[in-house]
Amino acid sequence: MKLANQYDELEFERLVERLTHQRESAFFCVTFSASISHTDFAERMCEKLPSGKSQIIDFRELYTKARYSSELIKSLIKDDTFYVFLANFQLACGDMPDAEFFQIFNLSRDTLAELPVVFVFMMPLYFRINIARSAPDFNTFFIYRADFVVEIEDSGLNKMQKIEAYNESNSELIEYYLEKYNKLRNHESKEAFEIIIYILILNVYTGTLSFIESKRLYESFVYLSSLYHEKYIEFDVAYIFLLHGDFEKALELYNEELRTYEGVNIVNCNDIANIYNNIGLIYVKQGKLNEALDYYNKALDIEVIYLEKEHIDIAFTYNNIAEAYDEIGEYDKALEFLFKALNICENVYGKEHPSTACVYNDIARVYSGKKEYTGALEWYNKAKKSYEITLGFEHPDTATVYSNKADTYSLQGDYINALKYFKKALDIREKKLGKKHSLTKYIYKSINKVEALLFEADKSKL
């Protein structure tokens, strides 16, 4: 997508404003998708804050000197510094297990809290879970916490996502942008168009907006896109049409964009591959699976030439191809490409990462389609373990794996275990998404269905 820089700016300004008004020492936690340069972000932040009051400490440099300690950080803080950005936080773990590192870090927090300094810890998304699990007391010193996703890297809903598809701060962001939108004097301005795009994309992941509000904003988007899409090409306007089911309009815009690359050396190979992937996704949505495979393979042909052998974008395209084969019913071909994707994800991210867990889940789904339920449960358990470690026990993605396991148990006729996992999923979805969310309603229906099947099974034994 071409949304990265613009999406960054509003969140960037929000954090700058929050830090500027901070008058007492505090801890902030800013979490990123893995590819973001923490130091670049911190340098931009320092330019916006009072001159001479900011300092960046890179944990990569700390670790070359000694293991992490609060005394080491204290010794590096310059006089008159008020804002200390601690970048690349995860690298300080070195060869220590995460739990041990965070326990040490937790013990030192009181020493840091005594300093008249605002600490901004910058780390990957998944480290928030480690903090919560291994250093619970430290959470009380995070007086403000949010996920600043400063780059959106997926190019389709069915791609494995490099950022969390759901997080609590996304709902807060929608409220923030809605308030900002409602305060605008001119709802036909470029700024209004920009804000609507943020809201519509965030809502895909959270389902926060009511149907009426979503419809109202989408209608405004359609109108404004006719005014600004030519002049405001940094937004992937076609992607919004795709997300909302206006496939013909999305195809028209993607093909229009492809024509701009005709006769030009491929320097923006990711842009072209993303367009091909998104066109493939449109054809999947339309049930034109052979056409989808054609475009996914066009994307792959570019990526294998211009990207590194184990570039994560290649894994995403493998995943898309696998999905198309799964829809066709060619399960063995689907598994072939999923295992290719898995090999890259495990090498790049490791086994305990949301993107890797997503592949585990997809493999399990294909085995379930083959009616090989034992194999499906084996892979769902891998996904379950990875999600629980990286996202926690109360994340909606974890709930999805519980629900998938429950479906598989139900297909096996094991209604007791099916109910057990449906109820685990329900607890999370009611808490995180609310009782009226479509995913929560699905669990209600599933539980009613399984309870009826269990009743019939018990009655037949009498």
DSSP string for 217-286: HHHHHHHHHHHHTTT-TTS-HHHHHHHTT-HHHHHHHHHHHHHTTTTS--S-HHHHHHHHHHHHHHHHHT
Measured at the alpha carbon of residue 289, what is the angle toward residues 152 and 200, in degrees to the nearest 5?
30
Question: What b-and-e string marks burial along 333-352, b requiring 16 or more CB atoms within 10 Å of the CB?
Answer: bbbebbebbbebbbeebeeb
Contact assessment for residue 407 and residue 446, using Cβ atoms and an 8 Å cutoff: yes
Which is more confident, 437 or 294? Answer: 294
Q: Which residues pair with 87 in a beta bridge?
A: 58
Task: Name the residue type at position 270.
Answer: N
Rounded Cα gap, residues 225 and 219, in angstroms: 10
Can you read off the two tokens belonging to residue 47?
């330019």
pLDDT at 132 over 90: no
For residue 74, name the pLDDT band (cuts at 50, 70, 90).
confident
Ranges of each domain in the chain: 11-147, 153-260, 349-462
pLDDT tens-digit map of 164-203: 344 455 667 788 788 889 999 999 988 898 888 888 877 7
pLDDT tens-digit map of 260-271: 777 665 555 777
pTM: 0.61
- Report in angstroms the alpha-carbon separations of 185 from 188, 198, 216, 378: 9, 19, 17, 56
The topology under which CATH files domain 349-462 is 1.25.40
- What average pLDDT does this structure show over 55-74? 70
Across 80-94, 155-169, 194-208, which has the greatest mean pLDDT?
A: 194-208
- What average pLDDT does this structure show over 425-453? 87
pLDDT tens-digit map of 290-329: 999 999 999 999 998 888 888 888 999 999 999 999 989 9
Contact assessment for residue 311 and residue 303, using Cβ atoms and an 8 Å cutoff: yes
pLDDT at 13 over 90: no
- The enclosing H or E element of 121 equals strand 118-124
Instruction: Indicate if 349-462 has the same CATH topology as 11-147.
Output: no
The domain 11-147 having CATH identifier 3.40.50.300: the answer here is yes
Query: In 3-state terms, the chain is what percent helix, strand and coil (to 5)?
Result: 65, 5, 25
Task: Indicate the range of 3-17, 112-126, 199-213, 238-252 predicted with least confidence.
Answer: 3-17
Scan for tokens 């009655």, then name that residue: 459
Which is more confident, 95 or 1? Answer: 95
Can you read off the two tokens belonging to residue 124?
């990957």
Task: Indicate the range of 13-27, 238-252, 369-383, 407-421 predicted with least confidence.
Answer: 13-27
Q: What is the pLDDT of residue 378?
A: 97
DSSP 8-class letter at 116? S
Q: What is the pLDDT of residue 460?
A: 76
Which is more confident, 200 or 385? Answer: 385
Measured at the alpha carbon of residue 150, what is the angle toward residues 105 and 301, in degrees to the nearest 5?
115
